[in-house]
Amino acid sequence: MAIHENLLGGPPPTHLPDDPEPRELLAAGTAPADVAAKYPASSLVWAQLADDAFQAGRTVESYAYARTGYHRGLDALRRAGWKGHGPVPFEHEPNRGFLRALHALARAAQAIGEQEEYERCTAFLRESSPTAADTLS
């Protein structure tokens, strides 16, 4: 039996390639908007912008940032072989930007009364990574 074989017969986990530069710039205190301008494909940067806007009470802005990060993440997942379903482990750090953006989208959707979007994103987060759903909620 291969190591990490999925015994349930579902798709294998998707692991996004590492993109350390945006993560390192954010950790060093670079303004998220500056990092987004340099690395617009990074879900992590958009998730950070969404979190910052939400914490500042700018819910619609948070929603827009989160949606951008979510779509950038979907693009990256597809390039990594994801077929629209299956595990996206939170334990794999490069996946966290997408998962954070998905969580931020659910949170902002709920805050603006977009209940169907909130439920869809919450279910998608839990299906993708129960760890992310528990950690981020």
Neighbours of 4 (CB within 10 A): 7
**Residue-wise pLDDT tens digits, 76-120:** 999 999 999 999 999 999 999 999 999 999 999 999 999 999 999
Tokens of 57: 């009470």
Q: Which two tokens stand for residue 65?
A: 């940032």
Band of residue 1 on the pLDDT scale cut at 50, 70, 90: very low
Whole-number average pLDDT of the chain? 94
Residue 6: pLDDT above 60?
A: no
Contact call for residues 19 and 37 (beta carbons, < 8 A)? no
Confidence at residue 9, expressed as pLDDT on a 0 to 100 scale: 74
Terminal alpha carbon distance of the chain: 35
Q: Of 88, 92, 54, 90, nearest to 74 (Cα)?
A: 88
Kindly state the percentage of the chain with pLDDT values over 90: 92
Q: How confident is the model at residue 8 (pLDDT cuts 50, 70, 90)?
A: low
Q: What is the pLDDT of residue 85?
A: 94
Kindly report, residue by residue over 39-53, the tens digit of the pLDDT. Answer: 999 999 999 999 999
